[in-house]
Amino acid sequence: MTRTPAELRAQILALTREYSAAVHRAHRPGRDAERAAFEPGVSTVPYAGRVFDEDEVEAAVGSVLDFWLTLGPEGEAFEKSFAQRVGVRRTLLVNSGSSANLLALSALTSHRLPEERRLRPGDEVITCAAGFPTTVAPIVQCGAVPVFLDNHPLTGNADLTLLEAALRPGRTKAFMAAHALGNPFDLTRVTEFCRRHGLWLIEDNCDALGSTYTLPGGTPRATGTFGELSTQSFYPPHHLTLGEGGAVSINGHLMLASIVESLRDWGRDCWCPSGRDNTCNKRFGWQLGDLPAGYDHKYIYSHFGYNLKPLDVQAAIGRQQLAKLDAFTASRQRNWESLRRGLAPLEEFFEFSLPTHATGWTAGQGFDWDTTGARADCSWFGFLLLVRPGAPFRRTELARALEARKIGNRNFFGGNLVRQPLFLQLRNDRGDSAYRIVSSDGKLPGADRIMNDALFLGVYPGLSPAMLDYMVESVTDFCRSRV
């Protein structure tokens, strides 16, 4: 008997779920009873990774069966759902978090912005020295000058002590930094500083989806909603995954959305989605630039742009992941607390990370807070350890020992970026105009401390209680063996 297309589709998707359940057990949440068993010393403990089940695999296969391929209906649905979930005015999907950072910063160069706020070559953007390079790279790629604040080692975020000293009126145009490992930077000080001086704020939220920040006297708000623009990464280690992918969210004037969309989509002036024509009802009624009147609006370009869209199948996966964000966030927080309790006896060897505005941590009671009234609630990306200067081992020795036990760990990304080869070459090429360091002596001791002494362990939702116990046991055994 001939089956209808609907019957064939239903059978394919049912078999897809059955296949996924049989093959992908290692990628289920860590507390899922169906997850593959953990064998200490045999199984790998990743620092991060994909966490999914049959829902994502079915969604991906269903999208491929529809064979839209390029960004389309699934992408549009994800963008709307994500914007509503986070609380921003508009979200645009892109092909990576790094591309999101490039587009967000590039949007500030647009001729559509007021001249006094437009980012021009030679203008300055304040950021911090230690972190992931593609938070800073767009500043250079757009012809602007990075202005580096030091990092606070216990939060990983910018040390704002010299924030006012970083300002050059008329030249400083923006503040752009990441919420380090899911820990929001001091948004009270930064938002007030940007408002007072008329600066753009771009939040790199790639490591912090699910984190919230509370202004004094306010209510918790999601990170990524304080700046005019914010960015997201959906690479597999991050809070949600689309395989590859990222997003730019707009919380300021919606003109920024049209600029980002133009830059993402080849720089074109037309805002018609892929596969749809003439949404403005005057496709052949424009006269722009020196083009002839009536030139096809789909082929008019207002910016020097890129093609940085993801595929629709990625958005289909993302819609399933987004539905699990609250559970993922709770798992990250629970796993961080588990490691903090388990490693508490090792304070003679390590300093432990603290959320912004926290002054300490006590088992059973949680964090103590400063008197500002502000709070940071972290959807942790990792568990940061700072090896104390007097410890009987160095960070690299610990990293090697953990690797030998198949426990994934990472440096704090690029460490002090001005010591990286790309910035040394930039200084060789451009001299003192390459970048600016804001400090009393031209040094960045906090960023150097992070570079030399910090590593982080995983807290992602795929970690099981047995994995967390094994991590605590392994770090403890290593430290005690060095006494």
Average pLDDT in the 4-25 region? 97
**Cα torsion 81, 82, 83, 87: sign:** positive
Q: What is the pLDDT of residue 279?
A: 77
Which strand (E) or helix (H) includes residue 478?
Answer: helix 465-481
Using CA atoms, how far apart are residues 231 and 92, in angstroms rounded to an integer?
A: 10
Question: CA-CA distances (angstroms) from residue 478 to 225, 390, 411, 467, 471?
Answer: 42, 16, 18, 16, 11
pLDDT level of residue 2 (50, 70, 90 thresholds): confident
Task: Express each pLDDT in 89-115 by its tens digit.
Answer: 999 999 999 999 999 999 999 999 999
Q: For residue 280, what pLDDT band results from cuts at 50, 70 and 90? A: confident
pLDDT of residue 46: 97
- Give percent of the chain with pLDDT exceeding 90: 95
CA geometry: angle 126, 127, 130, nearest 5 deg: 155
Rounded percentage of the chain residues whose pLDDT exceeds 70: 100
Helix (H, G, I), strand (E, B) or coil at 26: helix
User: Tens of pLDDT along 230-269?
Assistant: 999 999 999 999 999 999 999 999 999 999 999 999 999 9
Least confident of 20-24, 169-173, 282-286, 479-483: 282-286
Cα–Cα distances (Å) from 103 to 230, 262, 308, 386, in that order, read: 10, 10, 9, 33
In SS3 terms, 98-129 reads as HHHHHHHHHHCCCCCCCCCCCCCCCCEEEEEC
pLDDT of 34 strictly over 90: yes
Summarised one tens digit per residue, pLDDT across range 45-73 is: 999 999 999 999 999 999 999 999 999 99
Res. 272: pLDDT tops 80: no
Domains and CATH numbers, the chain: 66-276+286-321 (3.40.640.10), 322-481 (3.90.1150.10)
Residue 455 forms beta bridges with which residues?
Answer: 385, 411
Return d(Cα 252, Cα 275) in angstroms, integer.
28
217 Cβ contact partners less than 8 Å away, ≥ 6 residues apart: 373
The answer, yes or no, to whether residue 274 has pLDDT greater than 90, is no
**Residue by residue, what is the 3-state secondary structure of 151-213?**
ECCCCCCECHHHHHHHCCCCCEEEEEEECHHHCCCCHHHHHHHHHHHCCEEEEECCCCCCCEE
Distances (CA, A) of 290 to 111, 286, 296: 17, 11, 13
- Residue 278 pLDDT more than 90? no
pLDDT in tens, 330-351: 999 999 999 999 999 999 999 9
* Three-state secondary structure call for residue 437: strand
pLDDT bucket at 1, cuts 50 / 70 / 90: confident
Sort strands 409-411 and 366-369 into parallel, antiparallel or unpaired: unpaired
Alpha carbon separation from 69 to 55, 241, 311, 479 (Å, rounded): 19, 18, 6, 51
pLDDT given at position 231: 98
Positions annotated as catalytic residues are 238
The conformation of residue 371, written as its DSSP 8-state character, comes to T
Evaluate if residue 441 carries a pLDDT over 90.
yes
Angle value at C-alpha 105, between 142 and 130, nearest 5 degrees: 90
What band does 276 get if pLDDT is binned at 50, 70 and 90?
A: confident
Which helix (H) or strand (E) segment holds residue 422: the answer is helix 421-430
* Mean pLDDT, rounded, for 370-398: 98
Give the residue-averaged pLDDT of 391-410: 98
Q: Above 80 in pLDDT, residue 460? A: yes
pLDDT at 275 over 80: no
> How high is the pLDDT of residue 92?
98
